[in-house]
Amino acid sequence: MGPILKMVAQRLALGLLTLFAVSLIIFLSVEMLPGDITEAILGQGATPETVAAFRRELGLDVPAHLRYLAWLGDIAQGDLGRSLASKRDIAELIGGRLMNTLFLASFAAIIAVPLAVTLGLLSALYRNSWFDRGINLVTLSSISFPEFFIAYALIFLFAVQWDWFPSIVNVNSDTPFWERVYRCILPAVTLTLVTTAHMMRMTRAAIINLMASPYIEMADLKGLTRLRIIVRHALPNALSPIINVIAINLAYLVVGVVLVEVVFVYPGLGQLMIDSVSKRDIPVVQAACLIFAVTYILLNLLADILSILSNPRLLHPR
């Protein structure tokens, strides 16, 4: 386990460096947002003196680089700050929204990952057949459309035409589990359609790439069925690229859920970030973006570890 621990330490150090760069990009990007929160809160009738006093109260009269260092120091101590618009603690404000986003992402992942791997295996098993071509056509078509288009199409069919599912996902902490699952079906299916193609095609490509290996040919000569060869011999050796693409798509399910949450008015972290941008609530936008960045970095680290555990040869690249 020594080399793996060394690799984890290196990835963590690189992740922290990346997170520092991302935090700087986030701060600069938010600083360049148009508008002024003091004018948004006080209204257009506020006098310049009132605006200046309110900016001092919020700490916005301090130079940007000093505010960045202060924000970074607070983040290092686990303090996300307070919302400028609602005056609430950001950790409290984000907590429930983050859990909603993780629930939706987990729900979509439970559907998408087994479906994509199964379709990839079947597509490799029946390579160049009508099934293979049909699955590739459907998945590539679904990934070619933006998320909001697929979401609105599903709303039109299943909420407007057939009235099977709600078009607005109104959930809270008191919503029963199965009621929450029912209300989240449409956004979860939207995310599934968007992410399945990547994982399915990578699974198919990894399996087909190994089918020309000598040990696979030997298993074929021994008379093993093609399904057994793929599942028992090809799949374990193809896990490394499959794990990587699954991790990237899981990160997308959490980070890229913003558009889906907006379309379905889902009370998640993405919806909160969009609302905060419109209100010019800088600390909330920064905290939400940072949480998304941390999620992406951690999932990529997990992918590296699982890939090496599934294929230790990656520790010694040639």
Read off the pTM. Answer: 0.80
Per-domain residue ranges for the chain? Answer: 18-76, 97-315
Q: Would you give per-residue pLDDT tens digits along the chain (318 residues)?
A: 566 677 777 777 887 888 888 888 888 877 776 666 676 666 666 677 777 777 776 667 777 778 788 888 888 787 777 777 777 788 888 888 888 888 888 888 898 888 888 888 888 878 878 888 888 888 878 777 888 888 888 888 888 888 888 888 888 778 888 888 898 899 888 888 888 888 888 888 877 777 777 777 777 777 777 777 777 777 777 777 777 788 888 887 877 778 888 888 888 888 888 888 777 777 888 888 888 888 888 887 887 777 777 666 666 655
CA distances from 86 to 5, 41, 42, 54 (A): 43, 10, 13, 14
Which residues, in sequence order, are bridge partners of residue 89?
82
**Tokens 């696979």 belong to residue:** 216
Domain 97-315 in CATH 1.10.3720.10: yes
d(CA 202, CA 1): 28
The CB-based long-range contact list for 313-318 (8 Å cut-off, 24+ gap) reads 314/240, 315/3, 315/4, 315/7
